[in-house]
Structure 1
């Protein structure tokens, strides 16, 4: 292991080296000869050279103008670059395309560089590039593009290798090396979870390759219209790793949605047929309907209602079923699943209408109603998804952050990696039962208050620290009965990913009476979303106090609904 780097001036290098040491310790068996050589050679470089490389890796590249690089802690940039150039980690003679050259220079610099060409000062960079492409299409070295340049342009050649390291460390590509800095500064705090040296995101080199291939497909889906190419590439990314297969299934769902937007029904059906991601089945039924394949659509709809994958699927397919039966001349037949009419009737009974003066300044209707109702003896809070999720997250903290295999593998995780897995709750069954048992024996208020103090500000997939204030917490624990919390938490646990959203906007408290009410707020013309309907129906059926308040602005025509 290399000698530690003092973090005060070279904090970024210190953090990068920590990650490399972590990878060398846990992923030795998955590293190629080239990757192992990088780890060894990097540790042996002069500090200034290591610092320069990390600085460049943390910036948008891969091309950099040597003359524009300036770092206080690296006074001799050229000297620091020499070992990197010798290793081929920086390259001064790699061909650079015209597009890359334009990204590297400002417009005035390009006007000087192409002064003899057909470009004019009033042209935009994009127009200049278009005008130059017929005569300057092929890549050239930077010296050939700019023979009078006093200094070279360098291309970082180890960017892909270091991106692979970043993926292996974090288990994803959305977290960056800045996580170290944010944690050091106290901006982000993470629950310390014990995991052994074998804990890691990937168990084989093939897993890393599949992740990168899926990531490339996802980028291609955003950047390209070649849907067939992306679909074929996704089909080749099969893996025995369950969480990678879930990523692939989600990608296939997104490909199907992209095909739907293009009204490419055959390819949409092909993508959904290969996807096991939640939502793919009911979208496949919809595609069958769009294609006029009503018998297949009805068969799939009946099968999904017999064994729905979620409340959302049951709700969506129940709405499709009468329409599909009409297409096949089967009106009047009894359909399975929950009746949309019944759900609407249940929610309709929760409706109240309220006329208010329109706000003097633009304001959200939720805040206007909150302020209208709020009183010292009856406080009102705008909480939406924050309150119930936070209470659940604090009470069940030990279960959520249990150090189970495959859940945690680096110190910058805001939650377990398997949070979206179908067996997330099952794997922690006993732990969740122990946490929820406190709702029965009365220990839960003290436990939640203590965790609110002890875990303050720590990253969590459930706790909304910005919304959950001490007064709100105190009122919630005093006014919401434990039996109600148990019902709310039970539905959360039924489908953690889907049911974390859709909660009513406001919560009202009457402390002297020890009661509360949740209120979904709708402005004129607004409609309830499906996930809101599901929560409202569940609350109504289980006797939880909930209402839907439709606000109308006094004196505004066309407001009535």
Structure 2
């Protein structure tokens, strides 16, 4: 029960709130079964509705009535009767041995084995009992209802037959299947807080019933590929071929919805990667060829190499290098051209000379601390505090300043009240659709208005979910130092790069920031321990900072190993011996 809630039916109230929301906003998307459910559910007794929601929020689909004991509901069989009459529950489902085993105790399984005349060892485990029952039924037994399995039992098994219907309702409400009805409870508890965004009719995940069916078909296609990969006798070529055939058939149904098309391309790209891992370059080529996923064009170059079509690979790599879709693609294409043409071509965005490359010797191994934290402690002084801010501080300043743009009520961006950020954040036109809003926010950097906006939103929006603000990483001290020491011109440059690719460029930022508050200056520091190398996204950020004259450095950190420490100890003993007075 929700702590301090005066209503024991809080979960039912939440579900009915969601149902009313759907009825008001998505009634035109309902099929006949969903329309009937929305009309008739509110008419059944409260205890029955509560039992329905309890079962919906538990793992099923089979439940023993004796285990559905809730004080506010009372007798579960009485509460179930109207739901059975409506067809939303089945009170006599056919159970195979696997479904039965999930519902019964070890003692009940052993009683079943005894009734069937199966001999068991005195201390037979549950697994051994199930194995004996499987052996007894050389061929799988016909599914039968609970009473046929346990004639003397007074219990009843209920099947939650409405699971597919409720899944579609959940999909319509959230626009995805990774969120569930517990979002209401988490929001009521204050575990998560969300920005309030106005909704209109266009603010829906789906505009047509066909979109819902296409989404579910894509889900089934993805699940089929993943489950096939988990089987022992995985036929990679067969599974990938089947996936691509299904995607080809689905393509016309996803063309009209950019959001669904992006999901379609993402799955097609995943099939291509699976084909590459399986050593099936022809299938990978087929997957990538008609795929708009941002990484698929470069993967075609790699597949052409695998197919020994070197000249085509070289031509495509050159095409990408001449007009890259983003910095990552440019970096990869330049690297590939260097390899294919056997030259030492370098990416324009690679972190070359310009940033300081320093070394730091820690007095001892970091122990349980991360190397970044150990380095922070070593570098920090009262006059120059150091903070570990990897991918948090600059993103947070951007998220706070550009909050109105990020949470602008655009069609296709916000579907329901429990969104961490806009649903189209990954879309290619995400920034273009909000160009005027972002420019208005960034224009504040020309005056001191940006400081007031960031500080105000830090106070007003504290704890509200955002794709750019990690609240636990912020503090009053850090925010004040950042606003005092980061020049507005540098903030604008960082924010402009984030706007080029809001998702990709959120990562790769340096680990530490060191401030000199009296001098109003700073330094960004990327920490690398022994054996750690710069990643491509880190190189791109370093190169960008160097290009614009920002203070940035890479710090190679090392510490004494056991061999070094032993040598130092021997040297100390020898020095001490030499310092002793002569006998």
For residues 186 and 350 of structure 2, the distance between their equivalents in structure 1, rounded to whole angstroms, comes to 46
2:259 equivalent in structure 1: 243
Give 2:200's match in structure 1, choosing from 196, 199, 218: 196
Pair 175,343 (structure 1): closer, same or farther in 2 beyond 3 Å: same
Report the more deviating stretch, 311-320 or 382-391: 311-320
Shift of 1:549: 0.9
Question: What runs of 5+ residues in structure 2 fail to find an aligned partner?
Answer: 230-238, 566-583
The 1:175/1:133 distance shift into structure 2, 3 A limit, reads: farther
Q: Which residue of structure 2 lines up, in the alignment, with residue 211 of structure 1? A: 215
**What secondary structure is seen at the aligned counterpart in 1 of 2:471?**
coil
Question: What is the match of residue 376 of structure 1?
Answer: 382
CA-to-partner distance for each residue in 1:155-207, whole Å, 9 max, x for gaps?
11110100100000011111111111111122211111112255321100010
* Residue 409 of structure 2 corresponds to residue 403 of structure 1: yes
Q: Which residue of 2 aligns with 1:3?
A: none
- Specify the alignment match of 1:506 in structure 2: 512
CA distance in 1, matches of 2:329, 2:212: 32
Query: Secondary structure of the residue that 2:522 maps to in structure 1?
Result: strand
Correspondence for 1:110 = 109
Which residue in the other structure is 2:49 paired with?
Answer: 50
Distance change in 2, residues 1:475/1:249 (3 Å): same
| SS of equivalent to 1:51 | helix
Shift of 1:257: 1.4
Tell me the SS of whatever aligns to 1:162. helix
Indicate whether 1:476 and 2:482 are aligned: yes
- Name the CA distance, whole Å, in 1 between partners of 2:57 and 2:323: 48
TM-score with structure 1 length normalisation?
0.92
When residues 7 and 156 of structure 1 are mapped into structure 2, their CA distance, relative to the original with a 3 A threshold, is farther
Contact kept in structure 2, 1:356 and 1:553, CA below 8 Å: yes
Q: Residue 343 in 1 paired to residue 350 in 2?
A: yes
Q: Distance in 1 between matches of 2:349 and 2:493?
A: 21
Distance 2:136 2:220 in 1: 30
Q: Distance in 2 between matches of 1:118 and 1:487?
A: 77
The answer for the alignment partner of 2:362 in structure 1 is 356
Number of matched residues? 544
Distance (Å, rounded) in 1 between the aligned partners of 2:247 and 2:106: 40
Q: Is the 8 A contact 1:26 1:198 kept in 2?
A: no
Q: Could you say what secondary structure the match of 1:237 adopts?
A: helix
Instruction: Using the TM superposition, give the Cα deviation of residue 119 of structure 1 relative to its aligned residue in structure 2, in angstroms.
Output: 5.9
Q: How does 1:163-202 map to 2 (within 5 A)?
A: 163-202=167-206
TM-score (norm 2): 0.89
**CA positional deviation for 1:342:** 8.0
Contact 1:102 1:129 in 2 (8 A): no
User: In the aligned structure 2, how far is the partner of 1:312 from the partner of 1:142?
Assistant: 59
CA contact (8 A) 2:301 2:313 kept: yes
1:261 deviates by 1.8
- Larger Rg: 1 or 2? 2
The match for 2:127 is: 124
Partners of 2:334 and 2:139 in 1: how far apart?
61
- Could you tell me whether the CA contact under 8 Å between 1:91 and 1:157 is conserved in 2? yes
Q: How does 1:59-458 map to 2 (within 5 A)?
A: 59-115=58-114, 116-117=117-118, 121-122=124-125, 124=127, 127=131, 131=135, 134-225=138-229, 226-238=239-251, 239=254, 240-326=256-342, 339-340=346-347, 343-346=350-353, 349-359=355-365, 361-458=367-464
Q: How many angstroms apart in 2 are the aligned matches of 1:201 and 1:342?
A: 37
Q: Is 129-138 or 369-378 further displaced after alignment?
A: 129-138
Is contact 1:389–1:462 with CA below 8 Å preserved after alignment? yes
Segments of 5+ residues of structure 1 without an aligned counterpart are: 1-5
Contact persistence 1:142–1:152 (CA under 8 A): yes
